[in-house]
Every structure is written in C-alpha cells, then in structure tokens.
Amino acid sequence: MNNINIIYEDNHLLVVEKPINIPVQEDSSKDKDLLTILKEYIKHKYNKPGNVYLGLVHRLDRPVGGIMVFAKTSKAASRLSEQIRVKSFKKIYNAVVIGNVCDSGTLVDKLLKDTKKNIVKVDPNGKESILKYKLLKYKNGLSLVEIELLTGRSHQIRVQMSNFGHPLVGDHKYNKNAVTGHQIALFAKQIEFIHPTTKKLLTFSIPLPDRYPFNIFNS
C-alpha cells in the first residue's frame, strides 16, 4: 500500500501521513493518488465488495507531506466539513523560511487564484486569507516557524510567507531563489477536531521529517 503511515482508524475516520510528491486526488499527471491508495487499503483490509466510500475533507499540495484525516462515512465527511467551515478544525504546519522571522504575528492578505497559470497572488480582488505564525528556532539564516491556518486557501502559506518577505525553502513557485533539487520545506504537523460521532476532541501530531532543512534544527 505504498507504505502509507496509518496513524488512527475507526469506523468513521482514517488519519494518515501523506507522503511528499503524491497528489491527494487524481490530477492531470494521472499518477497514483492518496485517495485511491487508501480506498484500495480499506477494500483489501475489510474485504469490501464494490466501490469504497472515502470522503476528502481537506487537502495538501502535492509536494507537501504531513497529517490528514479522511472520512469513512458521508455523515463523518459532512460533520468534519462543517467544522472546517466554522473554523473549529485546527491545522498546524511547520515551515522553514528564508531570513529571521520576528517572534510571532498574524498575516492577513487577499489572495486570488490564477487557474490558467496555477498560481496564487496577493490581490485586492482576492479572498481574505489569515494565518498565525510563531518563530520556533533560527539558525544559519533560516527560521523554523509554526503556522496555524485560519482560512484554507490554495497555496496560502506559501504565498503569504513569500509576500511577508520570508519565502519557503525549496518553494520553486513562490521563492525565486529556491535551489534546484530541494524539497519544499512545509509539513502538516498537527490536526485537531471534534470526533464526528463521539464528540470527543481529538489531536493528532507527528514528528518533523528527518530531511533538509528540517533536520538542521535538531541540534
């Protein structure tokens, strides 16, 4: 099953670690996508006939890895989607950015997507986009930051941090000085939400990947 790390599973939810460079759902590349892989996993594990339902309630960009939750029932999908809509679903990311970021703050921008070029830009006609950031460590001209997304726009962290003057290491779309061969330094570290049926608060967190540039902050 492509060695997908299953973090938590019950009758309603499937929490996994998305590998880097795998699309969440089928795209124009026609490469194997995470949704299809997980449906095959459920079909095989539970010997289910016919099509398997698995609801996609949030996304990660293809080059970004980290934690995601999928819904195994339509009711769970609806309830999780509602939590995202009312902003009670918490998403925490870690990123490594260029320069020394000041301690903490909030970025508010209007972002507009250019679907033809598949880029997002800051534009007065765009949708309001909000994130909170906090400096965790600074080393070798790079900052390890924690980011909480308060809105879920496409490429939001990448565009807002670049516009802030601190583009992500390895972001070849929004960092004009990105080094060829470097993976984008963005990782979905933690999610927190209410279980759709038990109503318990669930928090899932995974360690940062042991690769550049995250690993320079280990020492």
Among 10, 27, 31, 61, which one carries the catalytic annotation? Answer: 61
Cβ neighbourhood burial of 22 (10 Å; 0-12, 13-18, 19+): middle
The angle subtended at Cα 208 by Cα 203 and Cα 209, nearest 5°, is 135
Q: Is 210 a catalytic residue?
A: no
Query: Before 213, cis peptide (omega within 30)?
Result: yes
Cβ neighbourhood burial of 195 (10 Å; 0-12, 13-18, 19+): middle
Point out the residues that are catalytic: 61
